[in-house]
Amino acid sequence: MAELEGLEYGKSDFVLLDEVTMEQFMENLKLRFEKGRIYTFIGEVVVSVNPYRQLDIYGKKVIEDYRGRELYENPPHLYAVADAAYKAMKRRAKDTCIVISGESGAGKTEASKYIMQYIAAITNPGQRAEVESVKNVLLKSNCVLEAFGNAKTNRNDNSSRFGKYMDINFNFNGDPTGGHINNYLLEKSRVVQQQEGERNFHSFYQVLRGGSDELLKSLYLQRDPAQYAYTSQGASASNNDSLCHKAVMAALKVISFTAEEIISIYKILSTILHLGNLQFTSDGEHVILVGEDTVKHISELTSTEPENARKTLLYRTVATGGGEVIEKGHNEQEASYGRDAFAKALYERLFAWIVGRINSVIEVKDYNPALHGKNTVIGVLDIYGFEIFDNNSFEQFCINYCNEKLQQLFIELILRQEQDEYQREGITWQHIEYFNNQIIVDLVEQPHKGIISILDEACLTAGKVTDTVCLDSMNKKLGQHPHYTSRKLCPADKTMEFNRDFRIRHYAGDVTYSVEGFLDKNKDPLFQDFKRLMYNSSDPVLKEMWPDGKMSITEVTKRPLTAATLFKNSIIALVDKLACKEPYYVRCIKPNEAKSPMLFNDGRCQHQVAYLGLLENVRVRRAGFAYRQPYARFLQRYKMTCEYTWPNHLMSSDQEAVEAIVNQHGFEDDVAYGHTKLFVRTPRTLFTLEQERAALIPILVLFLQKVWRGALARMRCRKIRAIYTIMAYYKCYKVKAHFWEVERRFANVRNMADYGKSVEWPKPPAALVQFHRITQHLYRRWWARQLIKNIPPSDMAEVRAKVAALSALRGERVDWGYSRAWERDYLANVSFSLGYSFRTFTLYFYIFTSFLLFLSPDLSFLQLNWFNNTKDRALLITDKHIYRVEPKKHFKVQKRISLDAVVGVSVTSGSDQMVALHTTSQDDFLVHLQRGQLNPNQDRVGELVGILTDHFTRTAKKNILIKIQTKILHARCMNSCFFI
């Protein structure tokens, strides 16, 4: 890191100083401040000097330079410590915290904002909407809390007048999922009174100077802050209040405050301003309010009845010992005190409600560790710094006590625990002396003896106990304490006054406190009437802020804890919360009191360096070790950098394995071996190990991906094999089940009248579709055989002819005579005399031909020639020839055509009896079969087609083409027409 900045900028880490002395420390700090280098390391602690000017060191480019880099890889910066805390949280799944400390005006609030901006910038690379929403709320909450919790003081224009600790929750990916804000000790006394040159809280001036005319009119406000008693003190100063008001309004909307809630917030602010202008006078017996219009405005803004508001300001309801309720009128002093207490309580509860409302939006919802993984946390603490004013009261006492606790935590974690760990681990070590401020913490918080206990005892004592009596009690009990004194204990010290002041020797210097008002501020009294008034408001926001107002005046309740005890308990809880996290520190230093970017006050800065314990921190860090880790954890993280430890070592102990890693890299002179931990002196060693580990990670990731992908492939293969096995068995089962079902359904078909034709076939599985068709075909053949075997042999020729006709006509001719008997030789059944000549003719054909294919008994026929003459003709078809004969000439054969010459038959799809016989010589016969005299309705086309088709198929062993024409019957070279 020393190589990253030139020598002209000094040493970027105080550990690198030639000699650890206050003179060299201050010289280096001043040089870096003058050169614009406001950040310097002490190991992992960042020392920040307020520059009182804008520096160009916070842009997106700078964020990218520090993102994911090691702490000492870049020059010192807030981003470096923020990234270190984030990496520690993400790498080791360990909760971390960033503690920002320093006195008022040292730049703590700005530091916390830059840290928050950095964390927001480096998270959620996937730009998921829900994470972006959480980040926006976390960032915008700073703007709102600054407006309502910060104020201008003589030391700081934007001083935090409350303590803030924010927990940011992260998921296992390192993306923010929510958060929680804790606020501590709002300086509510500032609402009613400020020191000379200071202002009230920013929110009052922002609404007056930045609110629209319509808003101010609805709130009955004027734009000039000097018109109101509570803001007149700081009316002349302006901190861009108008622009800030717009930013706050926008932030409230981002945080999901509703329009009604925002109006209620500004109504409460205006109510407080109006309360400050209320005046009380006395007519001798009663106290009178001056300005009834103001009371009406207050009642309207708080949604209460004007008469109830007036009575609450002038009277107090008390319950007597007998349970009687009476109204007791205030005097002027009591009325003014009640008014101011009410104004302070209103603002305090408003602030607490705003914080609670923000928490309700950003808190992690529906979190399930088993489902969402470990929820890690980064805490950011921005709390008021050490304060020494001309007049220090109860608020400064609490603030300085808080800083004592935080300093004690710093000493405990950084100085004492580190040195104790060296001794516990057996590391050679020379003890470094430092101031332990536990004695001051005990002075304030020790039970029964501490200042807070004495204050509580005085508040609980019956009777009139004044601040002076309380001071006397502290003098008696704490007179021998080395860090406590007062004018009574030290009469020669004229810087303190009798019966008013006491002094505590804090780690940051001596602070004189005025005891006036201590008891009242500790009791924090507020008349119950104000609580009931607000609880009965019709404004839901106000009603929610005052839940304790529902109790009646006669209800007996436990005495509430005092303000000091409540604050002590909250700070102890805060310290416990910080102690269980891995801390990172930002130590802020204020260079001068004039807020000048050029002035470096050596005495002022040296005082801060001394009480912050920075020099002791340098000595401990210089003499000690920058990094320590248990052997098992170190081995787990860096074992891949050594061949003897990857993937698992075979040595006798983890310490030997760690020694092997260190020796292989040549770091023997930069480490020390404890009983359970390895100690690394310089960050350079750790940085080198991290670099080598980062280079090996991609290789290991690829190896793991390869192994895992192979495992996935094998699992997938086993699944596929199992699937195919199951499929095979399932297919086998489906096949068998199909066979079983077919067998069941067709088991008794032989005994059925229709031989199972009416039985429905089961749907086959996909694998058996073709087999199913074959099975059906075989069944149909069996079924046909069962029918045919019962047919007499004399009828077989007719059956074959009908089957041939059915196949040839293909269903295109509806009526083709299949329902009647086909006798082929109709002459045998003729019942009337046909004449001797014809009988002789037919006998002749029976003798000289082997088989008669077709012969009709209706023998009247005509021939139509090309000359339009008609002649009687006859047509006989045998298995050899087709004959054309003349009946009137003793059936003389006119023409004979071989049956083998016929190649086709054409018929129509209608009910006519027209048939065309096609021959190879293209000398076609067009025949019209007359229905005859015996059976006028007989269709003989089907019989002729069937006989011819069957003959050609069975006897001639060849196919004859059968054509079914829809409208026109075609014949070629037709030499004659027959009408039979």
Binding residues: 102-109
Interatomic CA distance for residues 708 and 714, integer angstroms: 10
Nearest partner of 187 among 163, 158, 164, 156, judged by Cα:
163
User: Can you tell me which residue has the tokens 């309380």?
Assistant: 470
Interatomic CA distance for residues 507 and 415, integer angstroms: 15
Provide the annotated active-site residues. 104-105, 109, 156, 159-160, 385, 387
Q: For the CA atoms of 134, 135, 136, 138, what is the dihedral angle to 10 degrees?
A: 90
Nearest partner of 565 among 474, 410, 457, 462, judged by Cα:
457
Both tokens of residue 673?
């071996």
Both tokens of residue 859?
């023998």
Torsion 496-498-500-501 (CA) sign: positive
**Cα three-residue angle 640-646-651, rounded to 5 degrees:** 125
Torsion 700-705-708-710 (CA) sign: negative
- Cα 466 → chain centroid: 58
H/E run at residue 450: none
Instruction: Please give the C-alpha separations between residue 143 and each of 101, 182, 203, 559, 666, in angstroms, as whole numbers.
Output: 20, 16, 11, 36, 51
Long-range CB contacts (< 8 A, 24+ apart) of 973-976? 973/922, 973/923, 973/924, 974/923, 974/924, 974/925, 974/926, 975/923, 976/863, 976/864, 976/865, 976/873, 976/884, 976/925
Residues constituting the chain: 980
Both tokens of residue 76?
């010192």
User: Can you tell me which residue has the tokens 């059968």?
Assistant: 962
Q: Give one DSSP letter per residue of 113-179, joined into a string.
A: HHHHHHHHHHS-TT--HHHHHHHHHHHHHHHHHHHHHEE--SS-TTEE-SEEEEEEEE-TTS-EEEE
Cα R_g (the chain), whole angstroms: 56
Instruction: Please give the C-alpha separations between residue 836 and each of 826, 828, 841, 884, 891, in angstroms, as whole numbers.
Output: 17, 15, 9, 19, 12
Both tokens of residue 102?
């320093």
Residue ranges at the known binding site for ATP: 102-109
Both tokens of residue 511?
């602070």
- Cα 900 → chain centroid: 90
CB atoms within 10 A of CB 517: 13
* 892 DSSP β-pair partners: 886
Interatomic CA distance for residues 63 and 771, integer angstroms: 74
**Neighbour order of strands in the sheet with 501-506:** 484-486, 501-506, 509-514
H/E run at residue 185: none
Nearest partner of 16 among 36, 24, 667, judged by Cα:
24
Helix (H/G/I), strand (E/B), else coil: 41: strand
Backbone dihedral angles phi then psi of residue 403, each to the nearest 5 degrees: -65, -35
CA within 13 Å, CB half, 696 = 15
